[in-house]
Amino acid sequence: MAEAAAGMVWPLPAALCPVANFCFYSSIYLSSLFLAALSVRRYLGVAFPLRLRGRGRLGRVVAAS
């Protein structure tokens, strides 16, 4: 936002540019991977409802996430 407000000129220290890019792209990739993991879990719940019935333990859910 600072760059857009400054007329597309980076007003912050140069060391913060790669950090800002890392935060931006890592949030995109992590949210995409989380949605993929959630979709796989939902698919397995629909395809194999009896096998996954009792597997909602907290440790497994945290590990999958």
Q: Which amino acid is residue 18, in one-letter code?
A: P
Q: What is the pLDDT of residues 4-30, one digit of tens each?
A: 898 988 888 989 989 989 999 999 999
> Tokens in use for 37?
């993991």
Q: Provide the pLDDT for residue 30.
A: 93
Q: Provide the pLDDT for residue 52.
A: 67
Q: What is the pLDDT of residues 37-57, one digit of tens each?
A: 889 888 888 888 777 666 567
Contact between 10 and 17 under an 8 Å Cβ cutoff? The reply is yes
What pTM did the predictor assign?
A: 0.61
Domain boundaries, the chain: 3-63
Compute φ and ψ for 20, nearest 5 degrees: -65, -40
Half-sphere exposure of 24 toward its Cβ, with a 13 Å CA cutoff?
A: 7
